[in-house]
Structures are given as C-alpha cells and as structure tokens.
Amino acid sequence: MTRMIKSTLMVCVLFFVCIHHINAQEILRGEVIDKSTGEAMIGANVVVSGTLTGTATEWDGSFQIKVSQIPVTLEFVLTGYQTATYVVTDPKEK
C-alpha cells in the first residue's frame, strides 16, 4: 500500500512539473516589414535560433511564436533577403 501511495504521489508531482513547464512559455507577437519600402513580408520564416521552433508570417507580415524563455534570439528568413536576427529581451517590447 505504501508503494502505491508513493507511486501516485510521484505521478502527481510529475504532472504538476509538466503543467508548470507548459505555463512557463511566452507568446511573442510581431510584424516583419521591408525596411526600405514599408511593405509587409508575407511568408517570412521566423525561427528561434538554434531550435526547430518556428512559424511563418501572415498576409500582413504578422506572426506569433511560443518561446520557452526570455531572452531569445529570433531569425527572420525570406528568399531574396539577407537573414536578420533580433534578440528579444522583453516580451512586451515593440
């Protein structure tokens, strides 16, 4: 019986650790625009540097991406343009 209680307690602890990890994510939102023309960059790839986590911009250049921690370095890639990197230190920064 004691073994059953310890096993149940361990499962509960692991469950709460997993929930905390999920809740520790930040959602970053932004826009990718061409600096020289001011036009939205449709379909630009936004990737968390050094990971496989990424997304693509919408028709208006907007994106949102979940990251596990701040600060984070984002890479912006679009065919025909140089790759740009940006370090996010504040999720509310504009």
Its pTM surpasses 0.75: no
Q: Which residue has the higher pLDDT, 51 or 12?
A: 51
Q: Where are the alpha helices (DSSP H) in 1-94?
A: 2-23
Q: What is the pLDDT of residues 55-82, one digit of tens each?
A: 999 999 999 999 999 999 999 999 999 9
Contact 65, 74 (CB under 8 A): yes
Domain boundaries, the chain: 25-94
Task: Identify the pLDDT of residue 40.
Answer: 94
Contact 72, 88 (CB under 8 A): yes
In angstroms, the Cα distances linking 48 to 6, 64, 67, 85 are 39, 12, 8, 10
The pLDDT-based confidence of 24 (bands split at 50, 70, 90) is low
Cα gap 79→18, rounded to integer Å? 38
The pLDDT-based confidence of 5 (bands split at 50, 70, 90) is very low
Q: What is the CATH number of domain 25-94?
A: 2.60.40.1120
Q: Tell me whether strands 72-77 and 62-67 are parallel, antiparallel or unpaired.
A: unpaired
